[in-house]
């Protein structure tokens, strides 16, 4: 194993593999997408939250089309139906379990903090079954219990589009995250039921009112798996200092997203930026709110990352930049995986 296996807050690799009929196998080293098993193993990627996300059918907007001199405000796609989302969720979750079965022990879907620790120790890729946007779950929460038994251990209440539980932020720059209403009654029930089952709640993509609703209800540490510091990049998707303080206060974590528009001060989509843009967000949270409260949440295979990173093979270079910034070994241990293990020990039952 590497000294600092990087356990990561968010990837969309399952969706990438699913949407491309002739994507190379996950087990073959290629230059397509951001993650495959050989590239991950050679780069110290210890695993992470594998998102199951249901996209809108036949819906495509290009953020570039909404760019103006003063910023952008990309409209959200319409809500989707539960049956459609549940069918798609089954398909992506099945893909994850089939990858595990075909991996000859190199990838494991983890359901406990002990399993996660063992995988990190042995260099086995640890995958958490995570759902991004709870559309697949009915307001009575029947599907939640079934999905939990299948291995679901983390749930983002919303991707940005609205659903029966709440609504998320639009892709808007500049903007605060305070863009709409908080959780619905069903959303509040969902938080309590996740607490009871031991499913981690992800506040990434939620608007600010929804975030505070989670904060007021949950008995687990507050987590945003792939959101950055709003003070450094004032896009609606990022976390304000008050939100970051609440995350730290709850002993939770924020995962730094490598999306260029969430790193850059100008919110722009240009990819020609240095790895120090990622370090800047890590250091801001570590120095202002404590190194116990920052982790990495790449958004690999779901976003546009800096050219200087390229894909998962750029992680050793990122680790070097974090070292060069002055983070010591005990701090790097926490940022790369230790904080995640702590939060999941405190959250999962
Ligand atoms: Zn996301």
Q: What CATH number is given to the structural domain containing 249?
A: 3.20.20.140
CA of 247 to the centre of ligand 1 (A): 18
CA of 204 to the centre of ligand 1 (A): 7
CA neighbor of 317 nearest in space, from 290, 279, 270, 269: 279
pLDDT at 93: 98
CA of 9 to the centre of ligand 1 (A): 10
Residue 287 lies in a domain: yes
Residue 1 lies in a domain: no
- CB atoms under 10 Å from CB of 93, counted, come to 21
CA of 154 to the centre of ligand 1 (A): 13
CA of 226 to the centre of ligand 1 (A): 7
Residue 243 lies in a domain: yes
User: Which residues in the chain belong to E strands, given as ranges?
Assistant: 6-11, 45-52, 72-74, 107-109, 125-132, 152-156, 171-173, 200-202, 223-224, 253-256, 294-296
pLDDT at 2: 67
pLDDT at 349: 78
> Exposed/middle/buried for 60, CB within 10 Å: 0-12, 13-18, 19+?
exposed
CA of 207 to the centre of ligand 1 (A): 13
Taking the CA atoms of the chain, what radius of gyration do you get in angstroms? Answer: 18
CA of 74 to the centre of ligand 1 (A): 15
CA of 205 to the centre of ligand 1 (A): 7
pLDDT at 75: 87
Residue 318 lies in a domain: yes
The count of structural domains within the chain is 1
| H-state helical runs in 5-81 | 13-19, 37-43
pLDDT at 316: 98
pLDDT at 286: 99
Q: Residue 300 half-sphere exposure, CB side, CA atoms within 13 Å? A: 30
Residue 61 lies in a domain: yes
Which residue pairs from 245-248 have beta carbons closer than 8 angstroms and sit at least 24 positions apart in sequence? 245/289, 246/215, 246/222, 247/221, 247/222, 247/223, 247/289, 247/293, 248/289, 248/290, 248/292, 248/293
CA of 330 to the centre of ligand 1 (A): 29
Q: Which domain holds residue 239?
A: 6-347
Residue 262 lies in a domain: yes
pLDDT by residue, tens only, the chain of 349 residues: 568 999 999 999 999 999 998 899 999 999 999 999 999 999 999 999 999 999 999 888 887 889 898 999 998 899 999 999 999 999 999 999 999 999 999 999 999 999 999 999 999 999 999 999 999 999 999 999 999 999 999 999 999 899 999 999 999 999 999 999 999 999 999 999 999 999 999 999 999 999 999 999 999 999 999 999 999 999 999 999 999 999 999 999 999 999 999 999 999 999 999 999 999 999 999 999 999 999 999 999 999 999 999 999 999 999 999 999 999 999 999 999 999 999 999 999 7
Residue found by looking up tokens 């709850």 in the block: 250
Residue 57 lies in a domain: yes
CA of 52 to the centre of ligand 1 (A): 10
Token duo for residue 126: 């640890």
Residue 11 lies in a domain: yes
- CB atoms under 10 Å from CB of 279, counted, come to 20
């Amino acid at each position: 194993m590497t000294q600092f296996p990087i356990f990561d807050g968010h990837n969309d690799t399952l969706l990438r593999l699913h949407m491309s009929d002739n994507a190379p196998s996950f087990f073959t080293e290629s230059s397509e997408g951001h993650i495959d098993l050989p590239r991950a193993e050679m780069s110290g990627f210890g695993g992470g939250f594998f998102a199951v996300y249901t996209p809108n059918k036949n819906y495509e907007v290009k953020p570039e089309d909404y760019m103006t001199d003063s910023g952008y405000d990309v409209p959200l796609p319409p809500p989707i139906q539960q049956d459609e989302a549940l069918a798609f969720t089954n398909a992506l979750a099945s893909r994850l379990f089939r990858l595990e079965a075909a991996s000859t022990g190199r990838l494991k879907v983890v359901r406990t903090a002990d399993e996660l620790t063992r995988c990190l120790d042995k260099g086995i890729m640890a995958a958490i079954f995570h759902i991004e946007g709870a559309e697949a779950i009915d307001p009575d929460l029947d599907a939640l219990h079934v999905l939990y038994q299948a291995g679901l251990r983390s749930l983002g209440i919303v991707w940005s589009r609205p659903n029966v539980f709440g609504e998320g932020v639009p892709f808007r720059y500049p903007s605060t995250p305070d863009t709409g209403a908080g959780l619905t009654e069903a959303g509040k029930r969902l938080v309590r039921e996740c607490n009871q089952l031991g499913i981690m709640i992800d506040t990434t993509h939620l608007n600010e009112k929804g975030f505070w609703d989670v904060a007021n209800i949950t008995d687990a540490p507050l987590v945003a798996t792939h959101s950055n510091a709003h003070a450094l990049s004032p896009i609606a998707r990022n976390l304000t200092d008050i939100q970051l303080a609440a995350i730290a206060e709850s002993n939770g974590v924020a995962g730094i997203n490598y999306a260029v528009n969430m790193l850059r001060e100008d919110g722009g989509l240009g990819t020609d930026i240095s790895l120090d843009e990622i370090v800047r967000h890590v250091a801001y949270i570590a120095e202002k709110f404590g190194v116990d409260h920052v982790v990495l949440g790449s958004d690999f295979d779901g976003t546009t990352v800096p050219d200087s990173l390229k894909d998962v093979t750029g992680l050793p270079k990122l680790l070097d930049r974090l070292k060069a910034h002055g983070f010591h070994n005990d701090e790097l241990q926490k940022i790369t995986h230790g904080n995640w293990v702590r939060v999941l020990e405190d959250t999962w039952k």
